[in-house]
Structure 1
Amino acid sequence: MWDLHHLFKKHARDIIQSLRRRGLPEETAADLTQDTFLRVLVSPPAESKTTYNPAAYLFRIARNLGTDHQRREGLLRRADLTPEDFSAIADPSPSPEKQVYDRQKLMLAQQALQELPDRTRKAFEMHRMDEMTIAAIAAELNLSVGRTWTLIRDAYEFIDRRLTGL
């Protein structure tokens, strides 16, 4: 078994320089060097004639990783964006107006919930918040499944009317 610590100390700098000569940036070369040693650590070479020279084996793995990296990079399309172009990219977060609107709708929904009769509110909360089935809610509240469904439906309709302003 190879002493990877010793091999790393002895060859890592040379492997990085080899990858740099192939046109890779410093950070990428360092990452691929670590990947080289990690690959040998995870999957050590089988004992054979080709692995009697650990340095050559490590350089070959690094070269192959570098080639794979350059191929992947070649497949990526890059676009240079000006600061104006970059700022024009849509922000996925909601606008301040949307946030205010959503908070107002949430307050209306909370108020509507408080106005519901206790049993209707409890059935709705168990269904919507606790994600309980209608049958489980019916058993918990000692009601029929049909009556439980009616309570939940009524709660949805009441809240919807409050949110739409009808």
Structure 2
Amino acid sequence: MSWDLHDLFVRHARDITAALRRRGLTEETAADLTQDTFVRVLVSPPGQTATTHNPAAYLFRVARNLCVDHKRRERVLPGVDLSPDDFSAIVDPAPSPEATLYSRQRLELTEAALAELPERTRRAFQMHRVEEMTLAEVAAELGLSTSRTWTLIRDAYEHIAARLTGL
């Protein structure tokens, strides 16, 4: 048995959401459970023996069951609405251990890549990127043209990027 879920969604989603709203759910929760209803049917369609099945009735039954499950969860563990300020107060701003390790590995590779560069290229890159000097300032410091200075800095970026692609 195969149902055209797109057609069923177009025809019944609004009614399912309305039925869930009548059961006391918020608009957002009703919309989420409506989506979950169709996902549930998509992932686990009714058995092959249901040849005379009414698809709309089946969808409404799945939605009702999801509503009951949702209300049970809410009784056990009620949700709390937080303002953005309250939410940001509980979020840990520290990066995860995995993110920290990844950043350290990238930094080590970047340092190694910089050490591989010729002295003038490395110096031009450091003055521009680390010391935040403009291209004209770096060019004047090194006694080069602005276009040659940009070529050195671009070469440094490309070299570092090539070393980081494996990570």
* Class of the TM-score when normalised by the shorter of the 2 chains: 0.3 to 0.5
**The structure with more radius of gyration:** 1
Report the TM-score when normalising by structure 2: 0.47
